[in-house]
Amino acid sequence: MKVLVIGDVIIDKYIYGTSERLSPEAPVPVVKHLREVETLGGAGLVYENLKSLGVDVTLMESDHGYRSVKTRVICDGHYVTRIDDDKRASGNAVLADVLSNDFSQYEYVILSDYDKGVLDNAKEIIAHINTFGCKVLVDPKRPASYYEGAWLIKPNMLEESQYGFGQHHWNWIITDAKGPVRARINKVMYTVEPEQVEVSDVTGAGDCFLATFVYGLTKGYDHTRCLELAVKGATEAVKHVGTHILKEADLNNRIIFTNGCFDILHKGHLTLLKEARALGDRLVVGLNSDSSVKRLKGAARPINSEDTRQAQLELIPYVDEVIIFNDDTPYNLIKEINPDLIVKGGDYTVEEVVGHDLVAVHLIPTVQGYSTTDIIKASE
C-alpha cells in the first residue's frame, strides 16, 4: 500500500551545549557549543517515520521552500530556549499543485497541518483527493470546517477542547499526553491506555503517533492493534530528547504463535497465517519435524521434507520465523518463546490447544473444504 504525506514541513534544529557559568550580561547560562543537529519536523517527521518503518511513502513537497525553522538550545540535557523563524507557504500555489495531480496510486493520504500555509485550502484538497478513493487522515490545527470530507481526524486534547472534533460524524482519534487515547472509527469506540514512562521530550510525539497508526493500517492490522502500535510509537518518541525516528524494532513486541505440519500448503493454511499475523507484530510458526510428523500421521507422512516445508513457509509474507521442533507437541517450544498469543483453527476448542495453560488462545474460523488429508486421499 502506498501512502502520501502533504503538509507543513518544519526544520527542527537542535543546538547542544554545556554550561559552567552564568553570563555577566544577564542571569542566563553561557552555553558552550558542542554540536548541532537538524531534522525534519511536522509533515517531514511523519514521512521520515513511515519511511523508516518500511512503508512505501511519498512526501509531496509543495511549500516551494517556505519552511519554518524551530531552533532549540539544549544545555546539559535541559531546554534553555526555543527560537522560531516562521515562514508561510502559499496555500493557493499548493492547491494548484494538488489539483494537477493524480492520486489513484495511494491508499492513504496524510494531511499534516501546522497552520504554516500549505493546507490553507485543506477542504478543497480533501475533496480532490477523495475523487481517487483515497482515505484522508488529518492532524489538525484549525476548526473542523477546514477538513470536511476527511476519513479521520487526529486532534490532541487541547485541539479537541478548542474545536470539538469529537462532536462531528467522522472518524476521530483524540490523543492525551496525560491519559488514555480515545477513538471512534467506523462507529466503534476504542480506549487505549499508554505505558507510564519517564518523559524526556514531547516534540514530535503526535507525528510519531499518526505515522505508526498508518503503518499499522498498511500492515492490514485491525483498528485496535493500529491504535496500540500508535500509542507505543508515541511513547517511544517521548523517551528521547529531540525528534525520534522510529524503527520496526521499536514496535515489534507482540509475538503470535501457531504450529502444525503444513505438509501440503493450501488455502486454509494461508488464511490462518494471514489472519494470525494481523493480530500482532511477529508471527512465529512451530513446524513439526519429519520424525514428529511420522509419529502423528503415520509412516507415509510427511509428503514434503521438513526443509521443504520450512522453505515454503518462509516464502509467505505473513510469516516472520519458522522453528522446527522434534517433540510430539510444541509445548516446550511455547514455553521457550513465550508468545503473547497462540492462534489455531476453529476446529479446536481452547482447551484442546497445546499451551492454553501458558498463553492466551485465539481461534480463527476454519476454511471449509481444505484439508491436507483430504487432498492426499483425492490424489490416490
The residue annotated as part of the active site, out of 12, 63, 201, 207, is 207
207 is catalytic: yes
Q: How far apart, in whole angstroms, are the C-alpha atoms of residue 141 and residue 128? A: 20
Q: Residue 203, CB half-sphere, CA atoms under 13 Å: how many?
A: 22
C-alpha cell at 349: 476448542
Q: Which residues are catalytic?
A: 207
